[in-house]
Amino acid sequence: MSESGKTNSWLFITLAAAAMLMITMGARQSQGLFVFPISGSTGVSIVTISFAMAVGQFMWGAVAPVAGALADRFGAARVLAGGVLVLALGTALTPLLTTGSGLVLTIGILTALGSGAGSFSILIGTVMKRLPPAHRGTAAGIITAGGSLGQFVFAPIAQNLISLWGWMGAMWALSVMALFALPLVRSISGPPVNATEARAEAASGVLSAVVKKAFADRSYLLLHGSFLTCGFHIAFLVTHLPGEVGLCGLPASVASWSLAIIGLSNIAGSFTAGWLLNRFRGKYVLFWMYGSRTLLILLYLAAPKTEWTFYLLAVGLGFSWLGTAPPTAGVVGKLFGLRYLATLYGLTMVSHQLGAFFGAWLGGLAFAHYGNYLWMWYADAFFAAIAALLNLPIREPRVEPAALPA
C-alpha cells in the first residue's frame, strides 16, 4: 500500500471510531438535562433520579473491562454492535418506566451498559492495534475528540427536543439517533496492522496473569486513583451543572450551551492531548490537566454567577474534560503492551466510574440537604489536586525519539 493509502486508511479507521464515540457519548452526556424535567413530570425526587444516574455512571465503567475482554477474545464488532442496540433499547424504555426502580433499570443499567460497550476502552484499544505506533497518540486524541463533539452536538439538540416534544419525545428521538452508530462497526474492527507485534503481544501471557501483574504494579494503581477522581468531577458536572445554573437564576439554555461548549472545547483539548503524547510522557500531561481543574473551580467559586461565567468555565474545564483518556490509555499501553489494552484500560474505567457514581449521587444528596452544591465544588477542587499529584510518581517509560514525527 502506498504512503497516501496508509495515511487514508489509518485516518478513516480513526474517524469511524470517533464518530461512533460521538453518538454513544453524546446520548449519554446529555442525560443531566433530563433530571428536572423527569422530576417535574413524574414526581420522582431529584435524589432518586440522581441515584439512577449514579448507578449508570458506575455501570458504564463496570462494563468496560468485561466488554474489553469479550472484544479481545471474540472481536470488537459483535461487542460494539450489541452495545448500540442495548443503548437504543434503554433510551426508548426510559419514558415507559418512570418509577425509581424503572429509572435504575433503564438509565442506570441498560443505557449505561450499551454506551459503555461502545466507549473509550474498546474503541481506543481496537484502533491502536490497527495503527502503526507513530499514529497511535494522535488517533487516541481524535477518537476522544469524537466523544467531545458528541456532547457539543447532542446537548443543544436534546434541550431543543425537550422544549419541542417534552422529555419523553426527546428520549425516543435519542434512541433512534443511537442506531446511526451501527454502520460504523465494520469500519472500526479488523486485524492488527503489525503481525510481529501481534505475535509478541499474544506471547505476553494469558489475561488473568496480565491483570494480576498489572494490579501488583504501583504505577497502575496510581492511575486508578487519579482516574477515580476524574470520574467524580465529570459526573458531578454533567449531572448537576443544569441544577447549578438554575440555582443561579439563569435559563436552562445556559446549561445546555455550557455542556455543549465543554464538548467543543474538549475537541481542542483532546487533539492537544494526542499531540502532547507523541512528545511528553503521559503522566506529565495528566498532572497539568488535573491541576488546571483545581484552579478553574476555585476561580469559578470566586466569580459572579453570570451566564458568561458559566461559558468561560465551560471553555476552561472542557479543555481537559475527556482529554485525560488518551494519556491514561497511553500510559497503560506503555506499561503492559497492547494485547490486553482494552481490558486493562477498561479496568481503570471501573475506578473512573466508581468516582462518577459518588459524583452524581452525592451531588443529589448535597442539593437535598443544603439546597446548593457549594461543598461539592470544594470537594471537586480538592480531588482534582490529589489526582494531579498521584500521577507524578508513575514509572512511565520515556517517549521514544522514533515515535516523533519527522
Q: Which residues contact 334 (CB under 8 A, 6 or more apart)?
A: 282, 396, 397
Indicate whether 8 pLDDT > 70: no
- pLDDT per residue as tens digits for the range 36-59: 899 888 888 888 988 898 888 788
Q: Which residue has the cell 470537594?
A: 379
* CA distances from residue 243 to 9, 73, 236, 321 in whole angstroms, order as listed: 44, 42, 11, 19
Report how far residue 77's alpha carbon sits from residue 130's, in angstroms, rounded to the nearest whole number: 14
Query: Using an 8 Å Cβ cutoff, are 99 and 52 in contact?
Result: no
pTM of the model: 0.70
Q: Where are the domains of the chain?
A: 8-188+208-403
Query: Using an 8 Å Cβ cutoff, are 201 and 328 in contact?
Result: no
- pLDDT per residue as tens digits for the range 58-79: 888 788 778 877 877 777 888 8
- 3-class state of residue 194 by DSSP: coil
Cell of 124: 481506543
* CA distances from residue 118 to 24, 38, 140 in whole angstroms, order as listed: 7, 26, 15
Question: Any idea what DSSP says for residue 371?
Answer: S
How confident is the model at residue 339, as a pLDDT? 73
Q: Which residues contact 391 (CB under 8 A, 6 or more apart)?
A: 222, 223, 226, 283, 284, 286, 287, 290
Report how far residue 11's alpha carbon sits from residue 7's, in angstroms, rounded to the nearest whole number: 6
Report how far residue 113's alpha carbon sits from residue 342's, in angstroms, rounded to the nearest whole number: 16
Per-residue pLDDT, averaged over 148-167, amounts to: 86
Query: Using an 8 Å Cβ cutoff, are 114 and 17 in contact?
Result: no
- For 306-362, the DSSP string reads -HHHHHHHHHHHHTTTTTTHHHHHHHHHHHH-STTHHHHHHHHHHHHHHHHHHHHHH
How confident is the model at residue 304, as a pLDDT? 93
Cell of 302: 470566586
Query: Using an 8 Å Cβ cutoff, are 257 and 355 in contact?
Result: no
Q: Which residue has the cell 516523533?
A: 404
How confident is the model at residue 403, as a pLDDT? 42
Indicate whether 406 pLDDT > 50: no
Indicate whether 7 pLDDT > 50: no
Architecture of domain 8-188+208-403: Up-down Bundle (1.20)
Instruction: Using pLDDT thresholds of 50, 70 and 90, give the confidence band for residue 154.
Output: confident
Residue 14's CB is within 10 A of a number of other CB atoms, namely: 26
Query: Using an 8 Å Cβ cutoff, are 286 and 229 in contact?
Result: no
* CA distances from residue 328 to 7, 284, 354, 387 in whole angstroms, order as listed: 25, 11, 16, 12
